[in-house]
Structure 1
Amino acid sequence: MQDLVKPLNPNFSSGPCSKRPGYDLASLRTDVLGRSHRSALGKKVLEEACVKTAELLGLPEGYRVGIVPASDTGAVEMALWSLLGQRGVDVMAWESFGSGWVGDITKQLKLDDVRVMEADYGVLPDLNAVDCNRDVVFTWNGTTSGVKVPNGDWIADDREGLTICDATSAVFAMEMPWEKLDVVTYSWQKVLGGEGAHGVIILSPRAVERLETYTPAWPLPKIFRLTKGGKLIEGVFKGATINTPSMLAVVDYLDALNWVESIGGVNATIERSNQSLAFIEKFVAENDWIDFLAKEANTISNTSVCLCVDTSPENVKAMVKLLDSEGVAYDIGAYRDAPPGIRIWCGATVEPSDVEKLLPWMAKAYQQVTA
């Protein structure tokens, strides 16, 4: 196997994800470190992160961006506990994280009027069966299944319910129809390769209206509260975070946003992910021992690319271990709840050329473990 060229960066983890090309800790600003996040400087930096996010994503007028605790999970939980209960809910799950939201809605919130739409790994539920006059909870991209929704055409423009979208492995890598999405959550440690522990929540004006006109029947912990006296706490979306953030993680996020801007914006980050996927699509077409976990071509994720290998689970683990020991690819085993296989992160911070270099090594590893 030594005759093959190794990827320059072997980090293909699906989270925390690879840092951006050329990343250097020394390039991060340090004037905000050791300062209060409530200081004028701290608020300015936090607000800059919110404003720059909105600008790069091209959010519609009136959409708000806030930095919240506990990564994407915290952002989703905040939305579920703060917004649900006013009307019936349709919740979709086709992989582990969506199944987690089903559990929260049915077993923790214990809502009465819930329709659960589930599908096995590799396929989507029937999107046309969704009733958009109910609240809808779904993941845009199944990080552990490699299956994404192909578009937002199934979401009604004149819907009465809210769409609550966990988009942590989609934002900055896939086209998002913002006008059809009322709540979008993500963590910057995914497509942007930022640090963990912080989440981002994006609210549409419709979501803000719900927050200001509806009070859930259950108590809300402080870290979930987005309103006070029946009004949105606007400060959360202007740099006044609910709890103390890591300012080092915030300046790291700003570094990632500046990188996105420098390469041409979101169109460029989407193209990088698509290019990586294109290399894998060609490889899969040329090798009959490997295939996508996603059954339909238009649902194949271009970030969390999940692959099935025609061999035993033990051999798949041996492949993963071999590629790790060779320093070729780290952390590419399938998620623990997913079918045995390989998962290659192809978010924007991964160089497509490194994905291309990885593939011949995968073929050699397969040959070696199945010989």
Structure 2
Amino acid sequence: MSSKPNAKPKRPWFSSGPTAKRPGWSSQNLPHELLGRGIRAPEVVARFAHGLKLTRDLLQVPEDWVLVYVPGSDTGAVEAAMWSMLGERSVQVLAFENFGKVWATDARTHLKLEPEVLSAPWGQFPDISAVDPKKDLVFPWNGTTSGVKAPGADWIASDREGIVICDATSAAFAMPLPWAKLDVVTFSFQKALGGEAGLGVAALSPRAVERLDRYEPPRPVPKVLRLRDDKGFDRLLATGSMLNTFSVWTLEDWIDGVEWGLSVGGLDALIARTDANAAALDRWVSRTSWVEYLAEEPGIRSTTSVCLKIVDPRVTALDDEARRDLVNHMKMLVEVEGAAFDIEGHRNAPAGLRIWCGCTVDVADIEALTPWLDWAFAMAMAEYSAD
């Protein structure tokens, strides 16, 4: 049986959302002067606008794009784009993980569209040769629940007629995004920079704004998802104005994370930190016989939400419920020791582990984590065998 490791990660937070706070984070560092102020107060609106500016700077959003806040985290941002923009032309959805499947269901069941769903098994990316540039497209750049990312963007036409709505919540600030190939890019505070949950951001290209200006969807749109006013795109939203009452504390926490990202070298530095974390985990996967990536093809393997499957024959012979019990037991073992939190895969994904390797995680903590995974697996298997 593997012996219990001596060293523990200094920051044992590996959840894929909300993710680990930035190194050195403290609630005492967050400004509190505006707490309790009205959400429409000029000072509060200015602070929200400042958050959008910093976000644009760090993410390197093109100058002719606009950014808006949307309630409901990334889910709200994707839904706002879908409800406010889809219906003018046929729609395709890439469904290769949980949230792509959700967007496909919403397009069909709630928007009453007839989307063409391009699906793929867990751990794979859909057949992108079937993507039609005449149709609107909805897809996740990085499958948070499957550990699969898009293989670049060459498959998206530059002269497309449809708009591309990209759920980039576990890719933004961690992977390069091909802005020229996308029209709506959404993300939430709670992913790459470890912000508090509840707020999402939608970045809109000129083509997306033109769609909002020109096209009125044939459906009532709930207020919290409404990107249009009577004249088209609601340009007040691009000034930091809010669709409803948002949390000032959450916004200050986001600004803290973005300022940290700028201070450590900007987007390139954040991507480099992410890649270094993924490489550290990869060194362990490469030398470990009982675990493998859910995404077997390296070119589509996520560097943020890294999903792992247990390939030990004793485990693969078990049914799905038993495999989930084993993973949950491993999770319990490391959490009791304070060595790692929230390392289980998504509830709708195949049973396995999921380790967040985004930029707010330190390489040293990934390296300290992996012996604990070996120990937890050995302990869980020993207890399973004893039963």
State whether TM-score is above 0.5: yes
Corresponding position of 2:124: 123
Decide whether the 8 Å contact of 2:4 with 2:375 is kept in 1. no
CA distance in 2: counterparts of 1:17 and 1:9, whole angstroms: 11
1:295 aligns with 2:296: yes
- TM alignment of 1:317-332, pairs within 5 A: 317-332=328-343
CA contact (8 A) 2:16 2:356 kept: yes
Which residue does 1:85 correspond to in 2? 87
Report the counterpart of residue 270 of structure 1 in structure 2.
271
1:368 match: 379
How big is the shift at 1:276? Answer: 0.9
| Cα deviation 1:168-196 (Å, max 9, x = unaligned) | 11100001001111001111110010001
2:60 maps to which of 31, 52, 58: 58
SS of corresponding position for 1:185: strand
- TM-score, normalised to structure 2's length? 0.94
How much has 1:233 moved relative to structure 2? Answer: 1.5
Q: How far is 1:78 from its partner? A: 0.5
The one-character-per-residue Cα deviations of 1:65-101 (angstroms, maximum 9, x if unpaired) are 1111111111111000110000011111111111100
Query: Distance between the aligned counterparts of 2:111 and 2:236, measured in 1?
Result: 27
Distance 1:25 1:292 in 2: 36
| Identical columns (%) | 46
Aligned partner of residue 253 in structure 1, secondary structure: helix
**Does the CA contact (< 8 Å) of 1:4 and 1:360 recur in 2?**
no
Asked if the contact 1:226/1:233 (under 8 Å) is kept, the reply is yes
**Counterpart Cα distance in 2 of 1:51 and 1:9:** 30
**Worse-superposed segment, 206-215 or 283-292:** 283-292
1: distance between equivalents of 2:298 and 2:5? 33
Distance in structure 2 (CA, Å) of the matches to 1:37 and 1:286 = 53
Separation in 2, partners of 1:270, 1:347: 8
**Which amino acid in the other structure matches residue 363 of structure 1?**
D
Q: Is the 8 A contact 1:4 1:361 kept in 2?
A: no
Confirm or deny that 1:358 pairs with 2:369.
Answer: yes
The DSSP-based 3-state class of the residue aligned with 2:327 is helix
Structure 2 distance, partners of 1:46, 1:3, is 45
Instruction: State the TM-score, normalizing by the size of structure 1.
Output: 0.97
- What's the CA shift for 1:153? 1.0
TM alignment of 1:147-158, pairs within 5 A: 147-158=148-159
Once residues 148 and 168 of structure 2 are traced to their aligned partners in structure 1, the CA distance between those partners, rounded to angstroms, is 12
2:347 is paired with a residue whose SS is: coil
| Cα pair distance change 1:213/1:318, threshold 3 Å | same
Q: Which residue of 2 aligns with 1:14?
A: 16
Partner of 2:347: 336
User: Which sections of structure 1, spanning at least 5 residues, go unmatched?
Assistant: none
Give the equivalent residue in structure 1 for 2:101.
99
Give the aligned partner of residue 385 of structure 2: none
Are the equivalent residues in 2 in contact too, given 1:72–1:168 (CA < 8 A)? yes
Q: Check if 1:279 corresponds to 2:280.
A: yes
Q: Provide the aligned C-alpha RMSD in A.
A: 1.1
SS in 1 for 2:152: coil
Aligned residues: 370
The aligned residue for residue 214 of structure 2 is 213
Alignment-mate amino acid for residue 254 of structure 2: Y
TM superposition shift of 1:370: 2.2
